[in-house]
Chains A and B, each alone.
Chain A
Amino acid sequence: MGIPIEQILIQTVNGIVTGMILALVASGLTLIFGIMDVVNFAHGELFMLGAYVGVIILAATGDFWIALIAATLLVALLGAAIYLTTLRPLLGRDPLYTILATFGVSLVLQNYALWQFGPAARKIGEPFTGQFTLFYLDYPWYRVVIALLSAAIIGALWLFLKFGTWGIWIRATTQDRVMAQAMGIPVPWVLTAVFAIGAGMAAASGVLFGPLVGVNHTMGVDWVLKAFIVVVVGGMGNLAGSIAAAIFISLLEAYASLWVSPAQAVIVSFVVLILTLLFRPTGLFVPTSK
């Protein structure tokens, strides 16, 4: 059953592209979990709303890039609002309640989108068409650009965390919230900002991904699951791990869809998860601590 090498290579590229978007979604999720210990079930809906906001602004301005930036900022603000209203009051309580609260938020956001935009899928036009020849196929430039942009955004996040003042504040808050407060770091604002950043990243992924599929109110649901798998496989709270896991899993799925249908290819991610939990529960790419 020889599969032409070109197909494998094309799937590799596809896998990497999807992987980068997944990495972008997952980084927001792992950031929120690592720093705030919050499992954000509403993350998929933030992704979805980002896409919808992108649709609207694109229709209004005709410019994809403005739509991308605006969607990111607006959803980041929404994220801050969600944090302040539903998560802040739950600080210090059993983590179960934050899971439930974000689950409730996802319910509200999903149905809000259904109500406002209806069940029919919308489309975001690609910012530029044009393809190049990848072997025997015409491969759209846009996909490559998405991958690069996602990488750029993640890179910017990493730089921000490593060098900026806010980056130090965030890292200190992650390690020891109490001492961070004692050092004058405005921890409540840091937490709000982290949630907002995570939300913004999810929204950006939504806009970037929009042109590849239709935008509709359930698009968040599948991504949330994949993102959670990625976060667990990569090691919760581990940014580099999530990125590696995202690409790894997407590649495996891309290869798997050479043989089975895409709906079945998702089983790959489930299998990876089970194996990780059995043998390396702290994360596939995390060195096991002594």
Chain B
Amino acid sequence: MSRRRTTVYWTGFCVLMGLLIIAPLVLPEFWRRFLTEILIWGLLAMSSDILIGYTGMVSFGHSAFFGLGIYGAAAALLSVNPPSLLLALLCGLVAAAAAAAFVAYFSTRLRDIYFAITTLIFSQIFYVIIFTWTEMTGGENGLTFSRPPLAIPGLFSVRFTPDTLHWFVLGVVVLSYLLLRRITQSPFGMVLQSIRENEARTRAIGYSVERYKMVAVMLSGLFAGLAGVLYALQNQFAAPDFVFFLVSGEVVIFNVIGGIGTLVGPIVGAAFFLLLREGLSRFFTEYYLIFVGLIFIAMVIFLPQGLLGFARRWLNE
């Protein structure tokens, strides 16, 4: 990539970072929360992009990873007193990883549509388990818990304020983005993209496609779980709704709207969709989702590469 493009990219990045950092100081509380939520959903969508955009595997299972991240964190925060941030992170990630391992196993044996439907059904399995196992998960009512302090054991411990929480989330999301970007540009990432382009040929060259796919699913699941943990921190409440397959559907919508294979696109897609939903719900309180759905369909037909699709090559260099 040319020097000029690199400079443009990083300048844009810094400007955006600057804006996001200042945001909580200038925005009213409602919009501050909204922005933080966009970042969290953006992270979730970004994790899904690893599979859809880079490996060519459509998954409707992200609600499972996300939901387990939330519930894992909830479990940690409810069972240990005083609540520990690190433990919450750990439990959430482990729970999501377990689900991801489960899905990863199947991912290698199924193609395309079958994989998509199976992941959907898996997220429903987790939904039913969480919904009905009321003693552990609170069932329909979910769980509420308190927010842990931002702490590194032995060093310091400080309570989160709305602003610092936002910055924490921002930090995690940005680090995730940079990490994922590094990964997708690495040889490993190149193999994934080769699998997306032509799986048979990749296999013929000698790569163990199964192993790469499994790692991709694990990676994707981990970051989705991370998004879940962040969500738990932000909202302090877990509910089975997040594990319902419709959430996975929304994640895929963010991906497509924003542009798959760009990492940043899904975040933009999440922002676009959430803003659209928010805006339309003010005008058409009862049936705004109808318009959201129609706009989505129109985008799928007329703008399939998504909002940032045109910049895909550029963003990946």
Contacts and interface: CB of A to CB of B under 8 A. Distances in A.
Contacts of A266: 128
Given A107-B289, A111-B289, A277 B296 contact: no
Interface in B5-58: 52, 58
Contact of A277 (B109, B116, B256, B297): B109
A264 B292 CA distance: 33
Contact of A225 (B52, B110, B245): B245
A250 B300 CA distance: 36
5 contacts: A39-B116, A104-B300, A263-B128, A270-B125, A277-B118
A230 to B, nearest CB: 11
Given A90-B300, A107-B296, A111-B290, A99 B128 contact: no
The residue in B109, B287, B289, B293 that gathers the most chain A C-beta atoms within 10 A of its C-beta is B293
A115 B290 contact: yes
B162 interface: no
Given A90-B301, A267-B125, A277-B114, 9 more contacts: A39-B117, A96-B52, A97-B304, A101-B301, A104-B297, A111-B287, A111-B289, A114-B286, A270-B121
Contacts of A96: 52, 58, 116
Contacts of B116: 39, 96, 99
Interface in B266-317: 286-287, 289-290, 292-294, 296-297, 300-301, 304
B113 A95 contact: yes
B297 A99 contact: no
Contacts of B301: 86, 89-90, 101
Contacts of A278: 109
A189 interface: no
Contact of B287 (A89, A101, A114, A261): A114
A191 B225 CA distance: 41
A229 interface: yes
Interface string B117-138: 1101100110011011000000
Contacts of B117: 39, 228, 232
Nearest to A115: B287
Interface string A227-255: 01100100010000000000000000000
Interface of B is mostly: helix
Interface string A99-137: 111011101101110110000000000000000000000
A167 interface: no
Contacts of A110: 289
A282 to B, nearest CB: 10
A104 B118 CA distance: 19
Interface of B: 52, 58, 106, 109-110, 112-114, 116-118, 120-121, 124-125, 128-129, 131-132, 245-246, 249, 252-253, 256, 286-287, 289-290, 292-294, 296-297, 300-301, 304
B204 to A, nearest CB: 22
A143 to B, nearest CB: 26
Given A112-B290, A114-B287, A267 B128 contact: yes
Contact of A105 (B113, B120, B297): B297
B252 A100 contact: yes
B289 to A, nearest CB: 4
A99 B253 contact: no
Contact of A107 (B106, B286, B293): B293
A104 B296 contact: yes
A108 B293 contact: yes
B109 A228 contact: no
A100 B289 CA distance: 16
A281 interface: yes
A93 B117 CA distance: 19
A116 to B, nearest CB: 9
Nearest to A105: B297
Most buried by B among A228, A266, A277: A277
Contact of A97 (B112, B131, B300): B300
Contacts of B252: 100, 103
Contacts of A93: 304
Contact of A229 (B52, B121, B131, B253): B121
Given A232-B114, A263-B131, A101 B286 contact: no
A273 B118 contact: yes
A191 B293 CA distance: 24
